[in-house]
Structure 1
Amino acid sequence: MSSSSSTRTSRTTVKTPLAPAAIGPYSQGILVDNTLYVSGQIAIDPETGSMISGSVEEETERVLENLGAVLHAASMDFENVVRCEVFLTDVNDYAQVNEVYARYFNETPPARQAVQVAALPRNARVEVSCIAVR
């Protein structure tokens, strides 16, 4: 074994009351050095803790507002996002979700995957997570 100097990474939990509190054993976000990993957000109103009711477009907007709140808590915004994962319970909602998504990621959209899943927590139709870099 050779000896080498180890580099330490800085790991910080990111938490904000402007996004829904975690509903399980996870953090809203984890900042490692200059990279932020944001947990999947669904359309929970952070003030009430309840899922919003409305169209898939309204649900997507709430999801992205929640995501943005975690980004802002780490002094970042949507322009810092380099990758997103979008989960849909119905791929037929893809166009409507994309229309709202494009309003938040208009200049240089991040890399992304979008997949249909069987179900999401709280009967959500849309969930989005992301990775952002300073």
Structure 2
Amino acid sequence: MKFSFLILGLLVIASFQSCNDVKSEVIFHKSHEPSRANVPFSDAVETKGFLFLTGQIGKDHKKGTLVSGGIGAETKQVIENIKAVLEHHDLSLDDVVKCTVILKDINDFKAFNSVYTTYFTKKPARTTYAAAGLAGEANIEIDVIAAK
């Protein structure tokens, strides 16, 4: 009897070990925007039930330029860009579990936050910090992680 429990225990341990050894599939998604077809990064990377989006700035991808109007307008465009990528993958802003926000000027926090809170009503985890400069002369960049 003890021998059969020992064998059963070893089989259970072996099955857990083999489950852990299976590498999760990683999918690197190209952009749905034709203007971003040749960028040197993936628009989103999918693995283990999560979608990791690349950082977005307040660029209007149809026009190819940063929107005018300052931090409020850029924040709105950034989130609309994120929303478009999520929708392309059958997700929404409600599926976002983590945001990382980079501001060019931390003094823009209040103006950014007033726009941000109208979009992210589920209140995902968030990290916000300022950096000396951002790509494309942007005032803000946001990247997100969404649960599938």
Say whether the fold is shared (TM-score over 0.5): yes
Please tell me whether the aligned partners of residues 31 and 74 of structure 1 are also in contact (alpha carbons under 8 angstroms). no
Where does residue 118 of structure 1 map in the other structure?
Answer: 132
RMSD: 1.9
Where does residue 86 of structure 1 map in the other structure?
Answer: 101
Where does residue 39 of structure 1 map in the other structure?
Answer: 54
Give the TM-score taking structure 2 as reference length.
0.80
Q: RCO greater where, 1 or 2, for CA within 8 Å and sep 6 or more?
A: 1
Structure exhibiting the larger radius of gyration computed from Cα positions = 2
In the aligned structure 2, how far is the partner of 1:23 from the partner of 1:56? 27
Where does residue 16 of structure 1 map in the other structure?
Answer: 32
Question: 1:24 Cα deviation (Å)?
Answer: 4.3
Give the TM-score taking structure 1 as reference length.
0.88
SS at match of 1:118: coil
Please tell me whether the aligned partners of residues 70 and 139 of structure 2 are also in contact (alpha carbons under 8 angstroms). no
- Structure 2 stretches lacking a partner, 5+ long: 1-13
Equivalenced residue count is: 130
Q: Does 1:127 align with 2:141?
A: yes
Question: 1:90 Cα deviation (Å)?
Answer: 0.6
Question: 1:23 Cα deviation (Å)?
Answer: 7.4
More helix by share: 2
- Structure 1 stretches lacking a partner, 5+ long: none
Where does residue 105 of structure 1 map in the other structure?
Answer: 120
Give the fraction of aligned pairs with identical amino acids, expressed as a percent: 32
Q: Relative to 1, partners in 2 of residues 1:13 and 1:73: Cα closer, same or farther, differing over 3 Å?
A: farther
